[in-house]
Amino acid sequence: MTIAEAQQVVDDWIKSKGVRYFNELTNMAVLTEEVGELARLMARTYGEQSFKESDKNRDLGDEIADVLWILICLANQTGVDLTEALQKNLEKKNKRDSTRHLENEKLK
């Protein structure tokens, strides 16, 4: 699935099953919640925190997909073409950061 196709699938789902998009501020709050859930799982899986019983059956891919879903919702409702935005962002990084990380002594 391309990014454009994903944006269309999410839009179709929202319009057919979700009734409508939540407003932008609500979706920003939902994004924060979803990132928190992802962070919690990451801290328990890769960090030093121990699992609580309620965390044990969480799926990392599903948590990442929840974050992606809400990002796509925000892009759709604000008119952002994510394919174009990512391409522009990569161009910016290639110009601005083409040697920055290679020259970073902390990464060697």
Task: Render pLDDT for 45-95 as a digit per residue (tens, 0 to 9).
Answer: 999 988 888 878 899 999 999 999 999 999 999 999 999 999 999 999 999
How high is the pLDDT of residue 71?
Answer: 98
Round to whole Å and give the CA distance between 18 and 16.
6
CA–CA gap between residue 38 and residue 59 (Å, rounded):
9
**26 part of a folded domain:** yes
Residue bearing the bigger pLDDT, 8 or 99: 8
Q: Classify residue 86: in a domain, yes or no.
A: no
Contact 56, 45 (CB under 8 A): no
Check which CATH number belongs to the domain holding 37 and give it.
Answer: 1.10.287.1080
